[in-house]
A and B are shown apart, each in its own frame.
Chain A
């Protein structure tokens, strides 16, 4: 028996405590979300009819199943508020991801082209804002975007505009906030693939007569596609459920599904509908998550 195998036994036991923790505080709670999304709304504390009573045994379980209803999902599917927030989440996530790609790609490309010893510093500079409070960074933008904020002052001083522009509480402000917050998530996977690119491929392209631009589109860009996919999904997935940024920066018009969930939960105190909205958001997340998992696996497979 090799040392590697002997080591594996105790290492396996190391996983027991975190495993139990994750089952109890991550997996089981989803069961509760699912259960409550299928239960009736009630004006009580907690504001839903308990569906299950283990003490009463099998009859209670049968009764509970008879009580389960898809009413909340029916509500989600029929009420235009939910459908529109579902759609808005998709639109915002797709649009933001595209903007992030357009802005993030040149930055990652610039980083990958830096002299070797500058690259870790540039990477550190990109990561640091990610460590700095996300709420504070959104708040910093409110300072800048408000009516008599810095942006309007600069624009007025430069005579770009003649009167202050309303930035805050618009979709523009929301997109600025989202792009700003998620930019490191886009840059890092892009940089990871771009910096690993074999420079000799570009030399070969140049030797064969390709202009730098042509070499970029024929060689660099296609080879960076795994990074593009990883970055896009890494941004797209959390933006779908975004709550804080649209709440602070977007107007009070149409909401994203995360905001709808929050509103149902805290303002309307309708827990079953909030739970149903959470399940709906999860369903929305399944395809991109599966795609991301598959891409990661393919990349790992390719590395071996």
Chain B
């Protein structure tokens, strides 16, 4: 009877395989076509790196890519700092005044449509008379992505054994020392994963950036978006493939970091 319950039925295998094919095929096709020599995106003209060279000669696209990388790096870093602090406050702090409001504010942006977040931040920046450009986009992305960092770090904190911190304090650490020496090393993988998630989310965002950027400081997604609306171009295939490659590298690093730390975690567990 047990075997019957746990058996992988052909239906299960098929649905899973089809689902994964559905998720990956479009991306694979895009990557293959980015190496297409033909100017027509739909006609295969042999393998070529032509469109990659085209990108590196496109001043406007390069500027946009550089802008995106800067925004993503700075906003991910601030978001990781603030998100980690928020996670510590929520997971380890006692009830404080406005805690419900705080956690509400941190969860709302996860599901809030981006048009609303973008519009509201723009209206704030206009009211503050802030010049729109690098910093306004960076602040907007920080606000959005720190919520994701908080979720990632908080779930890691929740799964940590609190007696480790208590033991450190019994041995004479003050709470801040206990956090830095014991807790922090244990949550570093989650913090790193949070940073990478924040980085990729920022690199991906077109809606919020459109609202909060100024003239002459378009991010890469904004440029891609305006090109895509005019139709498919082979150069875009190449740019998209490079973005995918960058993100793939980040994911591999992230999984290596977490694998490394989980083996450390096992050796630390008997403590």
A132 touches B15 (CB 8 A): no
Instruction: Spot the interface stretch: B59-67, B239-247, B263-271.
Output: B239-247
Q: Pick the residue among B85, B240, B255 that contacts A17 (CB under 8 A).
A: B85
A122 CB-CB contact with B under 8 Å: yes
A29 CA to B83 CA, complexed, in Å: 20
Interface magnitude class on chain A: 35 or more
Interface centre among A3, A136, A281 (most CB of B within 10 A): A136
B35 CB-CB contact with A under 8 Å: no
A275 touches B236 (CB 8 A): no
Q: Pick the residue among B12, B86, B121, B207 that contacts A15 (CB under 8 A).
A: B86
Contacts A29-B120, A136-B244 given; indicate if A109 touches B12 (C-beta within 8 A): yes
A66 CB-CB contact with B under 8 Å: no
Q: Pick the residue among B116, B197, B225 that contacts A281 (CB under 8 A).
A: B116
Contacts of B85 in A (CB 8 A): 14-15, 17-18
Proximity string of chain B (192-235) to chain A, C-beta cutoff 8 Å, 1 when within and 0 when not = 00000100100110110011000000000100110011001000
Contacts of A184 in B (CB 8 A): 23
Proximity string of chain B (87-104) to chain A, C-beta cutoff 8 Å, 1 when within and 0 when not = 011111110101000100
B253 CB-CB contact with A under 8 Å: no
Task: Kindly list 17 other residue pairs between chains A and B, CB separation below 8 angstroms, not including A16-B89, A27-B105.
Answer: A11-B88, A17-B82, A25-B121, A103-B22, A106-B11, A107-B16, A107-B18, A110-B15, A128-B251, A129-B27, A131-B200, A137-B27, A146-B232, A150-B42, A206-B4, A243-B115, A265-B211
Contacts of B160 in A (CB 8 A): none
Contacts A136-B244, A203-B1 given; indicate if A103 touches B19 (C-beta within 8 A): yes
Contacts of A240 in B (CB 8 A): 113
Q: Pick the residue among A18, A22, A28, A113 that contacts B124 (CB under 8 A).
A: A28
Contacts A7-B165, A278-B116 given; indicate if A139 touches B178 (C-beta within 8 A): no
B143 touches A21 (CB 8 A): yes
Mark B residues whose CB is within 8 Å of A: 1-2, 4-6, 8-9, 11-13, 15-16, 18-20, 22-24, 26-27, 29-30, 33, 41-42, 82-83, 85-86, 88-94, 96, 98, 102, 105-106, 108-109, 111-117, 119-121, 123-124, 126-127, 139-140, 142-143, 146, 150, 162, 165-166, 169-170, 175-176, 178-179, 197, 200, 203-204, 206-207, 210-211, 221, 224-225, 228-229, 232, 236-237, 240, 243-244, 247, 250-251, 255
Mark A residues whose CB is within 8 Å of B: 2-19, 21-23, 25-30, 32-33, 36, 46, 103-104, 106-107, 109-111, 113-115, 122, 124-126, 128-129, 131-137, 139-144, 146, 148-150, 153, 180, 183-184, 187, 199, 202-203, 206-207, 212, 234, 237-238, 240-244, 247-248, 258, 261-262, 265-266, 271, 274-275, 278, 281-282, 285, 289, 292
Q: Pick the residue among A5, A129, A238 that contacts B24 (CB under 8 A).
A: A129
Contacts A7-B92, A258-B113 given; indicate if A143 touches B232 (C-beta within 8 A): yes
A203 CA to B2 CA, complexed, in Å: 6
A247 CA to B11 CA, complexed, in Å: 36
Contacts of A183 in B (CB 8 A): 19, 22-23
B221 touches A143 (CB 8 A): no
Contacts of A281 in B (CB 8 A): 113, 115-116
B27 touches A3 (CB 8 A): no
A274 CA to B119 CA, complexed, in Å: 8
Contacts A110-B16, A129-B24, A133-B247 given; indicate if A11 touches B111 (C-beta within 8 A): no
B106 to chain A, nearest CB (A): 7
A–B Cβ pairs within 8 angstroms, 5 of them: A21-B143, A133-B243, A135-B221, A183-B19, A238-B113
B114 touches A206 (CB 8 A): no
Contacts of A30 in B (CB 8 A): 120
B27 touches A132 (CB 8 A): yes
A135 touches B29 (CB 8 A): no
A143 touches B115 (CB 8 A): no
